[in-house]
Amino acid sequence: MQATIIPCAVAHTPNLFIVGAPKSGTTSLYEYLKGHPQVFMSVVKEPCYFSADLALDHSGNFLVYERDAQLYDDLFVDAGDAKLLGEGSTRYLYSHDAARLIHAASPDARIVAMLRNPVDMIHSLHAHKLAAGTEDITSFEEALDAEADREQGRRLPAHSNPKLSTYRDRAKFGEQLPRWFDEFGRDRVRVIIFEDMVRDSEGEFRALLEFLGIDPGYVPESFAAHNTAHGARSTLIRRVLNGRFPQWLVWGLLPKVIGDTRTRCLVRRFRHSWFHRKPIARGKISVELRRRLEDDFTPDVARLSSLLGRDMGQFWFGRSED
């Protein structure tokens, strides 16, 4: 069932949205843009306000469309005279509602979609969910094998969003991008390929600034990667913090004491802190599994290639589509 389209009833409507995909460099891009003098990025990166179809009403981590309009507005109250107000929520690309709802609220917005080799993306997403405590199958291959059950509401990880418990569908970019092209037109949607950004960060970033219509001469202090592969420093601490009482303290009590925006900033800072997580080296995908996943993604990547006018099968999989 689709959400009713009601323009966002907030005073500070963003006009720049980094819409995903997850684990494709969106946090780094958010940080790079954050320093630009003509840009104000929301004080919390992932409000996920417009992904109405993926929201859980009881979740404190992400904002719920309409209900949390004022909290969403609060994320931008310090924007001043910035030319662009932006946010970055990786759920938007996957959401069936976000493109329509964002267009209703901000029809002239600029949209940025970062895409990555889908096999690498879902492998990284699995590691991220393990670190966050929203995945309980440590084997990537076994987690993929559980997808059919999860689509039927079975074998769902504790503390997870059941609407986001699978992997392959999160990386079907050829299916997802048309929603944004249809709503905003291709001239307002910038697609950045993660691997291109890694290879030439400065060139890709400058091209993005030109697309956004802001000073393209700005260069961040560093193009270092943010939110790289990590694991939980203590699974015990993670389990305790995911418990009902700690969650009530964070999302029920703390916002009443220091305000919702400050609470979200503290939570994000803690989640990215040394105390909460540690760097890890992700395990490799077996040749057999990679090949099988490439086969699974080939039809969607062919569709994406048509949309972009670029052979992404050759680029990502070394398989020409001709």
- For tokens 């001469």, the residue is 217
Nearest to 17 by CA among 41, 43, 52: 41
pTM of structure: 0.83
Distance between CA 205 and CA 296 in Å, rounded? Answer: 31
Flag whether 297 is in a domain.
Answer: yes
Flag whether 39 is in a domain.
Answer: yes
In single-letter form, the type of residue at position 303 comes to: R
Taking only the tens place, the pLDDT of each residue in 117-152 is 999 999 999 998 988 888 999 999 999 999 999 999
What pLDDT score does 223 carry?
87
Domain range enclosing 138: 16-229+280-317
Residue 1, pLDDT above cutoff 50: no
Task: Output the domain CATH number for residue 158.
Answer: 3.40.50.300
Query: Do 91 and 164 touch, CB atoms closer than 8 A?
Result: yes
**Pair (195, 214) in one structural domain:** yes
Our count of domains for the chain comes to 2
Taking only the tens place, the pLDDT of each residue in 235-289 is 655 565 666 656 656 656 666 777 777 766 676 666 655 555 555 566 789 999 9
In single-letter form, the type of residue at position 276 comes to: H
What pLDDT score does 283 carry?
77
Distance between CA 23 and CA 26 in Å, rounded? Answer: 7
Q: Is 41 helix (H, G, I), strand (E, B) or coil?
A: strand
**Pair (112, 179) in one structural domain:** yes
**Pair (51, 145) in one structural domain:** yes
Flag whether 5 is in a domain.
Answer: no
What pLDDT score does 31 carry?
94
What pLDDT score does 11 carry?
63
Flag whether 34 is in a domain.
Answer: yes
The reply to whether omega before 146 is within 30° of 0 (cis) is no
